[in-house]
């Protein structure tokens, strides 16, 4: 099909490369350098979607980030992405897109019935109507509204694309490559500053690409190209297109999203789809330009009504006519530039200018070109449903209140210009309090808050000469302060046409007897009448009006609607715009994909994976791994078709009867050295530490200052002033910070150093009645007898030439040892233990068996030390020294901590000795009691006792001390279980602790 609206010549597209694409299933052609929008318009397609609320037909309104209408569902390389702006999406071969928010099709949309019911859908309609009956909300109303409203559909598939994060530092970050961005970047770069110049569009130059101006002896476009080529060659400059600086955060950190591959049919190998840049800049220059404001009139949302600057951009950049019979409706000189471009390309536009008798160079040029101009005229309403077919126009009185006789004229598009709104989002995000500038009827940045300077149109400066001058100066001065260099640049001669004053008119009154919808927010269907209702109903704060009417809340965030909304509120309220104020500008400036925000931190990369030195052995021996914090630990070693339950039972039983070996490398280890080390331990732990002899280990519990147990573990005195502390796997990092806090801030007089050695040592726990025999084989030259290495003893030894530490400590409750060697010898140690342990039936055991062993022994772990329990609750109160002070001691006399029926750890056995008890279940007195059934305690950990061959659990139970022997019920509504149980001692196996000392 031919591109009927494509000019024969012109534009910056590559006419040698034709690209095919599909929209709503139909095939079209465009050229390399097109956007989806420009290619569709070239093919005469103006109907691209349906509006949010009334499902009115939607076309194109802009040509860039401000686009409120043309959001599409994009299909690229077997992936789909919702809510892509057709005005930003570059065309590539094979692109496919579909309309959103219409069913069954964009041409025939059932939801459009809302358009005829619109008098029933005023502001706040949903709030008012769907209130009752309450039960209808989630069954009827919400699903219906969800189906009817909303834009594109997010993919539920795994996104295979790669997104990267990058951190960068620079002297000057310049956001926007229009005239002010280029001038300031050039001046700063010449002074040797490290510059990043970011442009959100594929082409650099901003307004220079569409303006009829000269800089030096070049056209604006040529000047932009020559500056960019020079900047690209400079080693101190990073020039990035397709890169949107979307957020200005604290301490001059800005975030930029670079669309690396979205313009290609497929992401290249080793390339990311998008890259997020975190940029810390010494100075930020905001050269984000301005966005044209719409004029408000009846049916101003009809496809074919668009910004005049967009029409000009389609002409000059893409060689595309938005219409062949255009009407230009303007309140300032910008509309004339668009009309002149039409005329130069053989199209006859009509200009309606709301001003009475404006005079300027450009108006004269239009008159000389023979363009038909009607002063004091306005568009009253657009006519046509899916595309503009004519316009009702009228003369307007000088006070803009009275309309003359309405006349209908034929046209196929209406290009509107309501003057310009500076893009102040970044400045406002930096904390800059904006100010209202009367001359331009818009807000501009006030005093700089962070290190930001706003230039050019973004600062309300609309002449090229002044923009270039101030931007050269800003770039030069700011860089000079940083680099101490001062390269003078001669200022080029600028040729531009000077504009006359714009008209402070923006909204056409309704003619008598007509009730046209006059839209302010095009994406969310907010009309003048909605704002009027909101104000009548008493909404005053602009933030409230915004939320009640949804003005400015759509994916375009009101880039074209905010200021007109404010003007309307101020008109009705009889206030000036600055008194109404504007809503807050929050990042991101444009929608950012979730993938870009997440970056590489997905799936396995969302956190580091730590593996013990013995990991490969575990893998080879059928270990099934479990996440323990960031560590991967063997949960069990599968033999044949064993289940987790069967394997863990076998492994635990083997520890109780023979000997097992468990990888305990993950345990936190802290090396403590210094003459005051014992004193530190004495203050950190609840028990006494000053008299621990060299070569001995001791179990200790540490509290937080509020008296809650923080962690437990054994600490061994290696030599006079040297200790080796162990912590639980989960708390290792917190304990280290805790010690550093007290040493650096609270007791700096203590002469102690602490350092983490978790990764320096590989650890193996050897547990079971035959563990000593195995140890004798491992260390034949040492006396490891009960006398030579008693319980809680420590010795240093040699494991076949490898330095080793042996601790006689036990978590399983059996006779047990822990052997540590330097990490790189871990695998050697492990293999030796397995090899020499064969004759004692040694088996490796995983965390599941480890849990079983500790639970039936009543040893506490993380599930009991859960940040809510004190020493008493976990039966560790015997370790509280009465003679000394320690961290958290003063809190222990709190009333709740000393009450006589305080919770305590107990054992729980089901009466039938068969039913497993789910962890987290509640304990209650009466299973039949009405809800809420009073909770007496909860199950903290459950196992299958290998010693007794029945289920066994630990629980934290109110008045647990006096509950032994009681019969209660375990209730788990989650698992739908009620289990009668008996409360027993938490020490279910070897209550006297004889085995560990044997």
Partner 1 sequence: MLHIKCPHCGMRSQNEFSYGGDASVKRPELNKEISDEEWDNFVYNRKSLRGKHLELWQHLSGCRQWIKVERDTATHEIFNTYKADEEIT
Q: How far is the CB of 755 from partner 1 (least distance, A)?
A: 9
830 CB-near residues (< 8 Å, 6+ apart): 614, 617, 661, 663, 762, 764
Q: How far is the CB of 747 from partner 1 (least distance, A)?
A: 9
Which residue has 């400066």 as its token pair?
461
The binder of partner 1 chosen from 250, 398, 720, 787 (CB under 8 A)? 250
447 makes contact with partner 1 (CB under 8 A): no
Nearer residue to partner 1 within complex by CB, 255 or 623: 255
Cα–Cα dist 778/18, whole Å: 76
745 makes contact with partner 1 (CB under 8 A): yes
> Where does this chain touch partner 1 (CB under 8 A) — which range of 248-256, 627-635, 687-695, 834-842?
248-256
CA 441, 446, 451, 455 dihedral sign is positive
CB 188 within 8 A of CB 478: yes
144 makes contact with partner 1 (CB under 8 A): no
Q: How far is the CB of 670 from partner 1 (least distance, A)?
A: 12
Give the x-and-dash track for 663-702 against partner 1 (CB under 8 A): --------------------x-------------------
Size of the site for partner 1 (CB under 8 A): 24
Q: How far is the CB of 706 from partner 1 (least distance, A)?
A: 5
656 makes contact with partner 1 (CB under 8 A): no
φ/ψ bin of 858: left (φ > 0), alpha (ψ from -120 to 50), beta (otherwise): left
Nearer residue to partner 1 within complex by CB, 431 or 788: 431
Q: How far is the CB of 278 from partner 1 (least distance, A)?
A: 7
The binder of partner 1 chosen from 143, 150, 346, 431 (CB under 8 A)? 431
Using CB under 8 A as the binding rule, the residues of this chain from 161 to 180 that contact partner 1 are: 167
890 makes contact with partner 1 (CB under 8 A): yes
The binder of partner 1 chosen from 77, 218, 881, 891 (CB under 8 A)? 891
- Do the bridges between strand 79-85 and strand 71-76 make them parallel or antiparallel, or are there none, so unpaired? antiparallel
Q: How far is the CB of 739 from partner 1 (least distance, A)?
A: 11
3-state secondary structure 839-854: HHCCEECCHHHHHHHH
Beta-bridged to residue 908, according to DSSP, are 953, 983
Cα–Cα dist 116/492, whole Å: 57
1 makes contact with partner 1 (CB under 8 A): no
3-state secondary structure 556-578: CCCCCCHHHHHHHHHHHHCCCHH
The binder of partner 1 chosen from 368, 737, 838, 928 (CB under 8 A)? 737
CB 62 within 8 A of CB 87: yes
The binder of partner 1 chosen from 740, 831, 839, 901 (CB under 8 A)? 740
> Where does this chain touch partner 1 (CB under 8 A) — which range of 65-73, 134-142, 415-423, 733-741?
733-741
75 makes contact with partner 1 (CB under 8 A): no
746 makes contact with partner 1 (CB under 8 A): yes
Query: Coil, strand, or helix at residue 813?
Result: coil
Q: Alpha helix (H) ranges present in 215-283?
A: 220-233
CB 198 within 8 A of CB 279: no
Q: Render the burial of 642-678: b for 16+ CB within 10 Å, e for the rest.
A: beeeebbbbbbbbbbebbbbbbbbbbbbbbbebebbb
Q: How far is the CB of 606 from partner 1 (least distance, A)?
A: 15
262: tokens are 């979205």
705 makes contact with partner 1 (CB under 8 A): yes
> Where does this chain touch partner 1 (CB under 8 A) — which range of 22-30, 294-302, 745-753, 948-956?
745-753
Peptide bond into 133 cis (omega under 30): yes
CA-to-CA dists, residue 787 to 683, 766, 995, angstroms? 31, 18, 15
Query: DSSP readout, 897-926?
Result: HH-TT--EEEEEEETTS-PPPPTTPEEES-
> Where does this chain touch partner 1 (CB under 8 A) — which range of 46-54, 220-228, 246-254, 560-568?
246-254
> Where does this chain touch partner 1 (CB under 8 A) — which range of 48-56, 142-150, 322-330, 878-886?
878-886
543 makes contact with partner 1 (CB under 8 A): no
Q: How far is the CB of 682 from partner 1 (least distance, A)?
A: 10
> Where does this chain touch partner 1 (CB under 8 A) — which range of 218-226, 451-459, 735-743, 976-984?
735-743
Using CB under 8 A as the binding rule, the residues of this chain from 266 to 305 that contact partner 1 are: 278, 280
**Which of 863, 859, 854, 858 lies closest to 941 in space, CA to CA?**
863
Using CB under 8 A as the binding rule, the residues of this chain from 590 to 629 that contact partner 1 are: none
CA 110, 115, 118, 123 dihedral sign is positive
**Which of 456, 174, 208 lies closest to 316 in space, CA to CA?**
208
Give the x-and-dash track for 99-138 against partner 1 (CB under 8 A): ----------------------------------------
751 makes contact with partner 1 (CB under 8 A): no
Nearer residue to partner 1 within complex by CB, 754 or 767: 754
Count the helices and strands in the chain (H runs, E runs). Answer: 25, 50
586 makes contact with partner 1 (CB under 8 A): no
Chain contacts with partner 1 (rule: CB under 8 A): 167, 249-253, 278, 280, 431, 683, 705-706, 737, 740-741, 744-746, 748, 884-886, 890-891
């Amino acid at each position: 099909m031919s591109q009927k609206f494509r000019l024969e010549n012109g534009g910056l597209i590559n006419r040698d490369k034709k690209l095919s694409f599909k929209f709503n299933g139909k095939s079209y052609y465009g050229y390399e350098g097109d956007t989806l929008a420009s290619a569709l318009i070239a093919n005469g397609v103006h109907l691209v979607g349906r509006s949010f609320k009334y499902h009115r037909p939607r076309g194109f309104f802009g040509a860039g980030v401000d686009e409120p209408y043309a959001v599409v569902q994009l299909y690229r390389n077997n992936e789909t992405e919702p809510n892509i702006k057709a005005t930003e999406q570059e065309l590539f071969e094979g692109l496919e897109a579909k309309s959103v928010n219409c069913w069954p099709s964009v041409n025939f949309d059932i939801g459009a019935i809302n358009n005829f019911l619109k008098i029933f859908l005023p502001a706040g309609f949903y709030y008012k109507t769907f209130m009752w009956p309450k039960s209808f909300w989630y069954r009827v109303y919400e699903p219906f509204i969800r189906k009817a409203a909303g834009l594109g559909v997010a993919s539920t598939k795994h996104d295979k694309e790669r997104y990267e994060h990058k951190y960068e530092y620079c002297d000057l970050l310049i956001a926007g490559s229009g005239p002010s961005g280029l001038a300031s970047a050039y001046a700063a770069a010449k002074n040797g500053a490290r510059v990043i110049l970011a442009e959100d569009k594929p082409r650099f130059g901003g307004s220079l690409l569409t303006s009829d101006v000269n800089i030096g002896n070049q056209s604006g476009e040529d000047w932009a190209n020559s500056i960019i080529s020079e900047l690209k060659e400079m080693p101190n400059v990073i020039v990035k297109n397709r890169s949107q600086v979307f957020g200005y955060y604290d301490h001059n950190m800005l975030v930029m999203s670079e669309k690396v591959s979205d313009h290609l049919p497929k992401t290249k190998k080793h390339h990311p789809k998008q890259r997020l840049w975190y940029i810390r800049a010494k100075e930020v220059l905001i050269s984000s330009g301005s966005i044209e404001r719409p004029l408000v009139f009846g049916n101003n949302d009809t496809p074919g009504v668009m910004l005049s600057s967009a029409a000009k951009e389609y002409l000059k950049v893409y060689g595309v006519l938005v219409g062949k019979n255009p009407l230009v409706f303007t309140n300032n000189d910008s509309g004339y530039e668009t009309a002149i471009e039409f005329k130069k390309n053989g199209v006859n536009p009509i200009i309606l200018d709301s001003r009475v008798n404006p005079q300027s160079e450009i108006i004269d040029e239009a008159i000389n070109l023979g363009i038909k101009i009607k002063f004091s005229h306005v568009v009253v309403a657009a006519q046509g449903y899916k595309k503009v077919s004519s316009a009702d126009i009228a003369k307007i009185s000088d006070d803009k209140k009275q309309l003359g006789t309405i006349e209908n004229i034929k046209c196929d598009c209406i290009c509107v210009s309501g003057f310009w709104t500076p893009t102040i989002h970044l400045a406002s995000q930096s904390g800059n309090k904006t100010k209202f500038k009367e001359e331009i009827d818009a807000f501009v940045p006030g005093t700089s808050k962070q290190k930001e300077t706003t230039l050019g149109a973004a600062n309300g400066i609309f002449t090229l000469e002044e923009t270039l001058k101030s931007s050269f100066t800003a770039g030069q001065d700011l860089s000079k302060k940083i680099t101490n260099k001062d390269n003078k640049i001669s200022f080029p001669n600028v040729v531009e046409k000077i504009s006359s004053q714009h008209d402070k008119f923006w909204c056409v009154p309704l003619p008598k007897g007509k009730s046209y919808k006059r839209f302010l927010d095009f994406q969310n269907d907010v009309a003048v009448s909605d704002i009027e209702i909101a104000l009548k109903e008493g909404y005053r704060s602009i933030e409230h009006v915004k939320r009640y009417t949804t003005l400015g809340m759509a994916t375009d965030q009101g880039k074209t609607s905010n200021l007109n909304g404010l003007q309307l509120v101020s008109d009705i309220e009889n206030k000036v715009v600055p008194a109404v104020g504007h809503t807050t500008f929050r990042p991101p400036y444009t929608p950012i994909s979730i993938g870009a925000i997440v970056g590489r931190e997905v799936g396995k990369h969302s956190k580091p994976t730590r593996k013990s030195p013995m990991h490969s052995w575990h893998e080879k021996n059928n270990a099934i791994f479990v996440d323990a914090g960031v560590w991967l630990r063997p949960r069990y070693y599968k033999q044949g078709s064993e289940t987790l339950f069967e394997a863990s039972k076998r492994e635990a039983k083997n520890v109780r009867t023979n000997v097992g070996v468990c990888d305990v490398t993950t345990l936190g280890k802290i090396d403590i050295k210094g003459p005051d080390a014992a004193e530190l331990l004495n203050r950190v732990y609840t028990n006494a530490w000053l008299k621990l002899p060299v070569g001995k280990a001791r179990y200790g519990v540490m509290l937080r200052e509020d008296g809650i147990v923080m962690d437990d573990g054994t600490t061994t005195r290696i030599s006079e002033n040297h200790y080796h502390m162990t912590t639980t796997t989960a708390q290792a990092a917190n304990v280290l910070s805790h010690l550093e806090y007290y040493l650096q801030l609270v007791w700096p007089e203590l002469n102690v150093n602490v350092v983490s050695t978790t990764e320096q040592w590989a650890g193996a726990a050897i547990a079971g009645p035959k563990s000593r025999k195995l140890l004798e084989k491992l260390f034949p030259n040492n006396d490891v007898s009960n006398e030579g290495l008693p319980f809680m003893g420590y010795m240093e030894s040699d494991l076949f030439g490898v330095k080793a530490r042996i601790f006689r400590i036990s978590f399983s409750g059996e006779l047990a040892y822990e052997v540590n060697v330097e990490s790189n010898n871990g695998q050697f140690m492990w293999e030796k233990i397995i090899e020499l342990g064969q004759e004692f039936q040694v088996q490796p055991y995983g965390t599941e068996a480890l849990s079983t062993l500790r639970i039936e022994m009543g040893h506490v772990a993380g599930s009991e030390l859960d940040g809510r329990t004190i020493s008493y609750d976990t039966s560790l109160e015997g370790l509280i020294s009465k003679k000394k002070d320690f961290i958290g001691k003063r809190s222990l006399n709190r009333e709740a901590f000393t009450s006589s029926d305080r919770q305590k750890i107990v054992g729980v056995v089901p009466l039938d000795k068969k039913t497993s008890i789910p962890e987290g279940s509640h304990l209650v007195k009466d299973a039949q009691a009405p809800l809420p059934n009073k909770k007496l305690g909860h199950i903290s950990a459950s196992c299958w006792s290998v010693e007794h061959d029945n289920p066994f659990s630990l629980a934290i139970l109110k008045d647990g001390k006096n509950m032994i022997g009681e019969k209660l019920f375990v209730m788990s509504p989650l698992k739908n279980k009620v289990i009668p149980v008996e409360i027993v001692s938490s020490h279910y196996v070897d209550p006297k602790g004889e085995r560990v000392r044997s």
